[in-house]
Amino acid sequence: MASLPMEMIFWGGRGHAKVLAEIVRMQGSQVCAVFDNNSALESPLEGVPMHYGMDGFSRWLGRADRKGSVGGIAAIGGMAGPARCEFLKLFRHYGIPTPSLVHPEAYLAPSVTLGDNCHVLAMAVVCADACLGEATIVNTKASVDHECQIGDGVHVAPGATICGCVEVGRFSMVGAGAIVLPRVRIGEGALIGAGAIVTQDIPDGVVAYGQPARIVRKI
C-alpha cells in the first residue's frame, strides 16, 4: 500500500469515521476536517473541526489551498455505496486523492486488486485474485475468498464470509455473519440479511435472509 498524504479529510461524521481515523493514525497521517450533510451532528473526532454540506466544503476549500496534499475518504458505512461513490467523484473533481485504508491487522493477498477508497478493517481477509471495486468496505473479521468479484460501493459487514468465485454487484450489502457459498452471484443493490446462508443466485434490488436465504421483498 502506498503511504497516505499527511492530512486526510472525511465525508461522514458517524461511527465509521471513528474506525477509519484509527487506521489513518496508525499509518502516520491525521484527519484535519470532517464533513457531513447533517448539521445536527458534532465532530466524531476530538479536536477535528466539523463542516456541513457543500457550503461548508466550499468554504474549507477556499481557506485551505491544499489540493494534492490532502487525501479524501468517503467515511460512510452501512448500505450507502452510492453516496460513497458520489463523494469520491466530488473529491476527484477538486484534485483530492482518494486512497484506500487497510488496517495493519488485515490480510490482503499480493494478487488482490483494490479499487480507490476501499476500507479493509481489522482482521479482515481478502484472498488470491479477488477484486474489490472502489468505495468497498470489508468490515471487521469479514473474509472475501479467492477470485471473488466485488463491485463498487459494496459493504461486506463484520464477520461475513464470501466463499470463492462469488460475484457481488455494486451497491449491495452482505450482512453481519452471513455466508455466501462458492460461485453464487448477488445482484446490484441487494441486501443480504445478518446470519443468512446464500446458496443460490440473488437478483438485483431485493432483500434476502434466512438459512438458506430466501427473497422476502424488493428494495
Q: Which long-range contacts (C-beta less than 8 Å, at least 24 apart) are formed by 118-123?
A: 119/16, 119/20, 119/23, 119/73, 121/19, 121/23
Let me know if 42 is exposed, middle or buried by CB neighbors in 10 A (0-12, 13-18, 19+).
exposed
Residue 29 has which C-alpha cell? Answer: 497521517
Q: Are 172 and 192 in contact (CB under 8 A)?
A: yes
Let me know if 146 is a catalytic residue.
Answer: yes
Q: Are 124 and 106 in contact (CB under 8 A)?
A: yes
| CB crowding 51-65: b at 16 or more within 10 Å, else e | bbeeebbeebeeeee
Q: Are 155 and 143 in contact (CB under 8 A)?
A: no
Q: Which of 19, 22, 21 is nearest to 9 (CA)?
A: 21
Catalytic residue among 16, 51, 93, 146: 146
3-class DSSP state of 54: helix
Positions annotated as catalytic residues are 146
